Amino acid sequence: MIYEDIRKTVLAAINEAVEKKLINGTSGNIAMRDSENPNIVAITPSGISYAGMKPEDIAIVEMMDDGTNKWIDGAYKPSSEVPMHTAVLRMRKDINATVHTHSMYATICAMGDDPELKPITPPQCEFTPVKVVGFTMPGSDEVAEKVAAAIGEKGRVCLIKNHGMFSCGKDMKGAMHAAVYTDEMAQTTVIAKTLGNYEPMPQKAVEAMQALIAADQAV
């Protein structure tokens, strides 16, 4: 089996996402760039149950020089969201793993006329600001372009209206970390607003925490 390492990494991540209830059924998708050939990407297949999935079931896609993506290996066709994952991977050479979930609380926080997601606890500060992308058809080049623009040169996470969340990282641990803490941020936000005691962290405290994280001094 070719590209076994990244296939195993993607499979482990999708199982973790299911266990943490970030993904249900066949929703959501996860991708990983190959360390030796940065144009090769392992990504979860389309419409296949994650229960019982094996490494060889993970699809392999090559990002071509003309901007297209070519399915080169795997029994099942790659996720329809290949354009979204590869748009970010093409734009950000520092990013090697991408995670797209349909997590409920993150989706709720993307709703409304002026949606906003702010950190409530210090670990959540690492992934803000969290931009919100307007709804466009899943799997389209348009949503791929909007997500890439929202992530930008330094972003780690964005929300997609009526769709879910997209996160990324230098490795799979980082991408999953971003997804988990952003979903926690969304959960605490929804519950706090429901209880009527919503108090996000002050912006100065957020900036101070981000400086600690950047300096690798966060506790």
Whole-Å CA distances, 12 to 1, 5, 75, 149: 17, 11, 18, 28
Lookup result for tokens 């999708």 = 14
Element (H, E) at 213: helix 203-214
Whole-Å CA distances, 190 to 105, 120, 123, 169: 7, 11, 18, 25
Instruction: Point out the catalytic residue in the list 81, 126, 153, 199.
Output: 81
Which segments within 134-213 are labelled E, that is strand? 157-160, 164-169
Residue 56 designated active-site: no
Q: What sign results for the dihedral spanned by CA atoms 51, 57, 63, 68? A: negative
d(CA 138, CA 110): 16
Full DSSP string of 13-47: HHHHHHHTTS--TT--EEEEE-SS-TTEEEEPBSS
**Percent of the chain that is helix, strand, coil (3-state, to 5):** 40, 20, 40
Lookup result for tokens 């996860």 = 30
Residue positions annotated with a catalytic role? 81
